[in-house]
Chain A
Amino acid sequence: MTVQANDPALSLNAGGGATFRPLLEWLARRAEPVVIGSAAILAGLMLFSLFILAIGKSPVALFQLMYTGGFGSWFSLQNSLSRAAPLLLTALCVALPARLGLVIIGGEGALVLGGVAAAAVAAPLTGFLPPYPALIVMAVASMIVGGIWIGAVGFLRHYRGVNETISSLLLAYIAIALMNQLVEGLLRDPASLNKPSTMPLPPGYMIGDIPGMDVHWGLVISIIACVGSWILIEMTSYGFAARMAGGNVRAAQIQGLPVGRLIVGFTAIAGTFAGLAGMLEVAAVQGSANGSIAAGYGYTGILVAFLARHNPLAIIPIAFLLGGLEASGGLIQRRMGLPDATVVALQGTLFIVILFCETFYGRFKVFNPDLWKRRT
């Protein structure tokens, strides 16, 4: 399937001379993920259409509803963005350690404990602190708890040799048990009779919506976190060292890089993001910590991070795409009578195809200016 040298992009370049060349090269390199990604999404949708046809429903109707429900109107767009917001931070919790070669799948644990921590510190502050300082204290508390929780995974990995995938998963189950025990015991608001919860935040402590939108400020905070993480990885020496260590731990150690500090540092930063996601769930959506904050955002974040190839900027569109798919799930149930699992099945199909198509990266000459014929 390799594209031959005489394709239009190249012949265009042949006539244009040196002026267009840098622009074309820039475009070509940027076009690769977009073109391959879009083709993969199309292929995935076609595959799923076969299944929908096989059960006697119309794929056209399905895709129309997906568009309407996820992206087709201002309401639907906001719906998708609201669902994407918590995924950005939980995806970062996977993507950052992944740069060091660590597979962490327990962000859910840091999220729920971050949420509990935020709710716990808010209760005694009520009435003493004005909203903004209080929110900052809550955010810091959640980030400390989340950072310790996932940082411990990194610590155990480096200093005890404990596999980070299994320890983070175990810690996630333990965190959820702790959260339940606290919410139904020590931290329970006695007035929360049939839905055990912590003391509700006073309305002033709630994070509001972005002006003119139906989406809370958590989305902006999360996007800033993604951009910040990208800068950290791509533009700082710390990030460069981490990528080195992720490539080859032993080589990095020989070069004198502080691998232990990098691993603990990156996992702890990852944990602060997941913890912050918990605080946002409490302060922007639920209004208190309770069992509902363990909604699986930590697990969905794994998928987002892998689809984004652990690139913090790519996490943003991928989370939005996923949010859109989930937003359209309701319409698909209501209008087509298909089960709620339709969206999950479609996600699975789509993601397998998208991830499979990674194999095509670097295979098309058109995207690789280094292989273009030089005319001098």
Chain B
Amino acid sequence: MDETNIGLWGVPLAILAGAIRVSTPFIFVSLGEAITERSGRINLGLEGTLVFGAMTAYAVAVLTGSPWLGVLAAMAAGAVFGLIHGFICRFPRVNDIAIGIAMMQFGLGFAFFLGKPFIQPSAPKLPSIPLGNWSSYPQVQAALNINVLFFIGFALSLFLFWAFRNTRPGLILRVVGDSTDAARAMGINPDRVRLLATALGGSLAAVGGAYLSLYYPGSWNEGISSGQGLMAVALVIFARWNPIHCFLAALLFGGTGALGPALKSVGVTQGYYLFYAAPYVLTLAILIATSSPHRALSGAPGALSLTK
């Protein structure tokens, strides 16, 4: 009994473990949105894509028995959502923020509608990599039992950081995002770039949903998302469209989210609603501290309607 009792050490460990467990959906949605917003378009509807992705992944995993097929199906569904959004927003006078909010409703509605028969069955879960077997503490083992998608998300953030700066598609994306006219002058079709960027963003957001339903919490029901999709879109602005910052912001957000339950499990139980608000308070505080009225948001794509 005693060798498994780690007392107060459980708190930092729980925060670390929580950061890793909870952050993955934020990582994928915010990376997807970073790509979309870098192209000068905003997709506020990724919450709907995330939930639809969660449902699709779960349903396909139940039907085929393969969680990875579920992830692929979610990506395809997310890409379709992105394509719809991208296609509609290329028309003049169409407001991308408004369409995003409508798409959110659309995604939630159809996910709940089509997902009804899949609430009861259990789906096979995504595998995780046990990195903590060196430790004799089950808590450490559990904390370091990390899902593959987390590592993919980490690698993706590094890759995108590099690719935005050093590759031709990255350059094209940034040119389109900064100025539609400049892109046209360079012979780039901005609509096509934005369409692809929105589709890519959608498919990544759906992977975030697949993580929710197939790994953690690992269940499909109508309360599966507590606004992760919407919050992740906000985190992109917080992270100044920098993929590595997106990753770190997601970790920070996930870690502070685990603070409440971790403190309670060791008996600090006063004011628990306020502990649950900690991630939001911290994000807001950092945002206020790092913003400045004298310069525009550094790194903001020039053609982005949200920050104009």
In-complex Cβ contact of A348 among B105, B274, B293 (8 A)? B105
Say yes or no: A358 contacts B113, CB within 8 Å.
no
Say yes or no: A348 contacts B102, CB within 8 Å.
yes
- What total of chain B residues lie within 8 Å of the partner, measured CB to CB? 53
CA–CA, A165 and B108, complex, Å = 21
Contacts of B98 in A (CB 8 A): 306-307, 355
Contacts of A166 in B (CB 8 A): 234, 237-238, 287
Tell me, yes or no, whether A50 is within 8 Å of chain B by CB: no
Say yes or no: A348 contacts B271, CB within 8 Å.
no
Tell me, yes or no, whether B95 is within 8 Å of chain A by CB: yes
**A342 and B113 in contact, given A161-B294, A162-B288, A170-B280 (Cβ under 8 angstroms):** yes
Cβ distance A350 to chain B, nearest Cβ, rounded Å: 8
Contacts of B113 in A (CB 8 A): 338-339, 341-342, 344-345
**Binary per-residue interface labels of chain B (106-127) against chain A in the complex, 1 for a CB within 8 Å, 0 otherwise:** 1111111100100000000000
Tell me, yes or no, whether B97 is within 8 Å of chain A by CB: yes
CA–CA, A16 and B284, complex, Å = 63
Contacts of B109 in A (CB 8 A): 341-349
**Binary per-residue interface labels of chain A (96-109) against chain B in the complex, 1 for a CB within 8 Å, 0 otherwise:** 00000101000000
Contacts of A161 in B (CB 8 A): 291-297
Say yes or no: A165 contacts B306, CB within 8 Å.
yes
Cβ distance A176 to chain B, nearest Cβ, rounded Å: 8
Contacts of A343 in B (CB 8 A): 109
Tell me, yes or no, whether A140 is within 8 Å of chain B by CB: no
Cβ distance B46 to chain A, nearest Cβ, rounded Å: 13
In-complex Cβ contact of B293 among A158, A165, A303 (8 A)? A158
In-complex Cβ contact of A159 among B91, B287, B293, B307 (8 A)? B293
CA–CA, A180 and B276, complex, Å = 11
Q: Interface size bucket, A side?
A: 35 or more
Residue among A101, A173, A174, A338 having the largest count of chain B Cβ atoms under 10 Å: A173
Cβ distance A12 to chain B, nearest Cβ, rounded Å: 29
Tell me, yes or no, whether A184 is within 8 Å of chain B by CB: yes
Tell me, yes or no, whether A362 is within 8 Å of chain B by CB: yes
Tell me, yes or no, whether A49 is within 8 Å of chain B by CB: no
The closest CB in chain B to the CB of A249 belongs to: B308
Tell me, yes or no, whether A163 is within 8 Å of chain B by CB: yes
Tell me, yes or no, whether B145 is within 8 Å of chain A by CB: no
Contacts of B103 in A (CB 8 A): 348, 352
Contacts of A165 in B (CB 8 A): 234, 237, 306
CA–CA, A38 and B283, complex, Å = 43
Say yes or no: B276 contacts A344, CB within 8 Å.
no
Tell me, yes or no, whether A361 is within 8 Å of chain B by CB: yes
In-complex Cβ contact of A163 among B106, B237, B281 (8 A)? B237
Cβ distance A237 to chain B, nearest Cβ, rounded Å: 25
Q: Is the interface of A mostly helix, strand, loop or mixed?
A: helix
Tell me, yes or no, whether A167 is within 8 Å of chain B by CB: yes
Cβ distance B239 to chain A, nearest Cβ, rounded Å: 11
CA–CA, A342 and B108, complex, Å = 10
User: Which residues of B (132-156) have their CB < 8 Å from a CB of A?
Assistant: none
Tell me, yes or no, whether A169 is within 8 Å of chain B by CB: yes
Contacts of B95 in A (CB 8 A): 306, 355, 358
Tell me, yes or no, whether B92 is within 8 Å of chain A by CB: yes
Tell me, yes or no, whether B277 is within 8 Å of chain A by CB: yes
**A167 and B287 in contact, given A178-B277, A348-B106, A349-B106 (Cβ under 8 angstroms):** yes
In-complex Cβ contact of A356 among B99, B231, B292, B297 (8 A)? B99
Tell me, yes or no, whether B273 is within 8 Å of chain A by CB: yes
**A101 and B281 in contact, given A303-B105, A306-B101, A355-B98 (Cβ under 8 angstroms):** no
Contacts of B105 in A (CB 8 A): 303, 344, 347-348, 351
**Binary per-residue interface labels of chain A (173-196) against chain B in the complex, 1 for a CB within 8 Å, 0 otherwise:** 110011011001100000000000
User: Which residues of B (210-247) have their CB < 8 Å from a CB of A?
Assistant: 222, 227, 230-231, 234, 237-238
Contacts of B296 in A (CB 8 A): 161
Tell me, yes or no, whether B129 is within 8 Å of chain A by CB: no
Which residues of A come within 8 Å of B, CB atoms?
101, 103, 156, 158-163, 165-167, 169-171, 173-174, 177-178, 180-181, 184-185, 302-303, 306-307, 338-349, 351-352, 354-356, 358-359, 361-362
A-B contact sample (15 more), CB < 8 A, given A103-B97, A161-B291, A173-B277:
A160-B288, A161-B295, A163-B297, A165-B234, A167-B287, A173-B280, A178-B273, A341-B113, A342-B109, A342-B113, A345-B113, A348-B102, A352-B106, A355-B98, A362-B93
- What are 25 A-B pairs with beta-carbon distances under 8 A? A156-B291, A158-B293, A163-B307, A165-B306, A169-B231, A173-B277, A177-B274, A303-B101, A306-B95, A306-B98, A306-B101, A306-B102, A345-B110, A346-B109, A347-B105, A348-B103, A348-B104, A348-B108, A351-B106, A352-B84, A352-B88, A352-B103, A352-B106, A356-B88, A358-B95
Which residues of B come within 8 Å of A, CB atoms?
48, 84, 88, 91-95, 97-99, 101-113, 116, 222, 227, 230-231, 234, 237-238, 271, 273-274, 276-277, 280-281, 283-284, 287-288, 291-297, 306-308
Query: Can you list the 8 inter-chain pairs with the closest CB atoms, starting with the nearest?
Result: A348-B106, A345-B109, A344-B109, A341-B112, A177-B277, A306-B98, A351-B102, A348-B105
